[in-house]
Amino acid sequence: QSHEKFLHCLSLHSNDSSSISKVIFSRNNNSYSSILESSIQNLRYSTIATPKPLVIVTPLHASHIQATISCSKRHGLQIRTRSGGHDFEGLSYVSEVPFVLVDLVNLRSIDVDVENRIAWVQSGAILGELYYRIAEKSRTLAFPAGTCYTIGVGGHFSGGGYGLLFRKYGLAADNIIDAHLIDANGRILDRKSMGEDVFWAIRGGGGGSFGIVLDWKLKLVSVPANVTVFTVTKTLEQNATQLIHRWQYVAHKLPNDIFLLVAISRVNSGQEGKKTIQASFAALFLGGVDKLISLMEKRFPELGLVKQDCIEMSWIQSLLYFGQLPTEEILLDRAAVNKTFFKVKSDYVKEPIPKAVFEEVWPKFYEEEGNYGIILLIPYGGKMDEIPETETPFPHRAGNMYKIIYNIGLAGEENLEFQKYLSWIRRFYHHMTPYVSKSPREAYVNYRDLDIGVNNKGKTSYAQASIWGFKYFKSNFNKLVHVKTLIDPDNFFKHEQSIPPLSSW
């Protein structure tokens, strides 16, 4: 019933009622399910039991968002905003209370100004579209954001956003110079009218807390016409443990021009039934092969990098290389990924982990049959060390050697089997406790993990939110609460890990 009233309200409130009717999808609409499922990444939140929105709105104009906010408020419905739908815990399209899904899929225009090295991008665009549109105009301009091209701009920038260029240029959020935010009162605010504190909060404080960001103004960055990539793979029999151990001392201290990650997984060793651990050392270097080889000979000779391992290409092609994508045009295709059931957790490492600990961890990969766990080690340092912890809400700056990503994914139709992998990844994470950041045990907000704490149902409280809030934001959490109190004191925009206002509700 509230949904009937809500729909009636929308038709009354919209400035252009004719066009809004075309972008409202109730459950009985034929397109409802395909729109809902279109950008769901995590199949764990696409089951029959998953709570679904009463109505989906896919706005064409800011006025459609304003009308949706006003009518949702009036009729006691919550809003979930979705840009790319990549939230690990499905917070952009799942809620236990009656809600409206605002899906920004139609708001994805991109305007690249090469001369002034800026771009405006709407939140519903995916990163692939942004990269493609930049490369279309210039092969030596880029934007430092995530590697997975189907990620939505809206959620990604709201939580920080890092990728292969972040040791050189920082996070996506560090390179945003203006934005338009629609607040809980339906006002459209730019940097000047929202004020510096709100502008600070929307660049890293996590999506879904402060309003709906319509679009972002980006400072583009320079990349050479030719960059170099490589992937060198070693198994335990080829000294992988020693190399990973050594990598810890090297990777975060390398020049800003190189990003060298490690991906660790279980593989079959070739002999019948024999398993081993494989470490892939993959890198992007902002320069040519010769310079890279001489750098690696000096700084990480143990890896044994040779010219034959390296390929020179343009920056946009390096995205295809790392994503194993066939053509640049695929970057425009938001539907082209294989969806899985997955769970991700994150950690920060400040002291090298002893070699014996790695050796102790390897057998864990063999515990579950068919285990598709991948552990990624992401080097920090470079530009990330230069940006003060309070510059944006993202606090994981100097002092971090690397980030660990624990990732378990499973393809297929059935969710049942996934439970054992969930418990596996939680055991793995628990095992790592002594070797990672403490008090708080830090985590990356864009790697949303509801295991680390959630808001109370109904009334939120500062004390409850502090449990997860300090892990994501350290002491920046207090400033985020202050900003939330300013911009949304009634806590209209809320979810399981949204920032609570002080009044607290």
Does residue 281 contact residue 260 with C-beta atoms inside 8 Å?
A: yes
Does residue 144 contact residue 172 with C-beta atoms inside 8 Å?
A: yes
Nearer to ligand FDA, 186 or 207 (CB): 207
| Whole-Å CA distances, 82 to 40, 43, 111, 473 | 10, 16, 21, 22
Q: What is residue 167's three-state secondary structure?
A: helix
Which letter, b or e, does each residue of 65-90 get, where b requires 16 or more Cβ atoms within 10 Å of its Cβ? bbbbbbbbbebebbbbbbbbbbbbbb
CB-neighbour burial class of residue 142 (10 A; exposed 0-12, middle 13-18, buried 19+): buried
Q: Closest separation between CB of residue 276 and ligand FDA, Å?
A: 26
Is 162 annotated in the active site? no
- What is the DSSP secondary structure assignment for residue 313, as one 8-state letter? E
Distance CA 412, CA 50 (A): 17
Nearer to ligand FDA, 321 or 362 (CB): 321
Nearer to ligand FDA, 314 or 497 (CB): 497
Q: Closest separation between CB of residue 448 and ligand FDA, Å?
A: 6
**Cross-strand bridge partners of residue 216:** 121, 179
Distance CA 33, CA 56 (A): 10
Nearer to ligand FDA, 215 or 309 (CB): 215
Q: Closest separation between CB of residue 214 and ligand FDA, Å?
A: 7
Nearer to ligand FDA, 87 or 174 (CB): 87
Helix (H) or strand (E) holding 76: none
Distance CA 204, CA 102 (A): 21
Contact residues toward ligand FDA (CB under 6 A) are 41, 80-88, 91-92, 104, 123, 146-148, 151-152, 154-156, 158-159, 161-163, 207-208, 212-213, 446, 495
- 99-103 and 78-82 strand pairing: parallel
Q: Closest separation between CB of residue 59 and ligand FDA, Å?
A: 11
Distance CA 456, CA 463 (A): 10
Q: Closest separation between CB of residue 159 and ligand FDA, Å?
A: 5
Does residue 424 contact residue 375 with C-beta atoms inside 8 Å?
A: no
**CA angle in degrees (0–180, nearest 5) for 208-152-137:** 135
Written as one letter, the residue type at 113 is D
CB-neighbour burial class of residue 1 (10 A; exposed 0-12, middle 13-18, buried 19+): exposed
Instruction: Write out the two tokens for 350.
Output: 């400040």
Nearer to ligand FDA, 67 or 213 (CB): 213
Does residue 57 contact residue 19 with C-beta atoms inside 8 Å?
A: no
Distance CA 412, CA 410 (A): 7
Q: What are phi and psi of 258, to 5 degrees?
A: -125, 140
Q: Closest separation between CB of residue 13 and ligand FDA, Å?
A: 21
Residue number with the smallest Cβ distance to ligand FDA: 207
Catalytic residue among 429, 447, 462, 472: 447
Distance CA 226, CA 155 (A): 30
Q: Closest separation between CB of residue 99 and ligand FDA, Å?
A: 11
- What is the DSSP secondary structure assignment for residue 132, as one 8-state letter? H
Nearest to residue 38, comparing CAs of 73, 8, 82, 76?
Answer: 82
Nearer to ligand FDA, 342 or 358 (CB): 342
Nearer to ligand FDA, 162 or 472 (CB): 162
Q: Closest separation between CB of residue 306 and ligand FDA, Å?
A: 28
Q: Closest separation between CB of residue 106 and ligand FDA, Å?
A: 13
Using only C-alpha atoms, the chain has a radius of gyration, in whole angstroms, of 23
Q: What is residue 48's three-state secondary structure?
A: coil
Indicate which residues carry an active-site annotation. 447
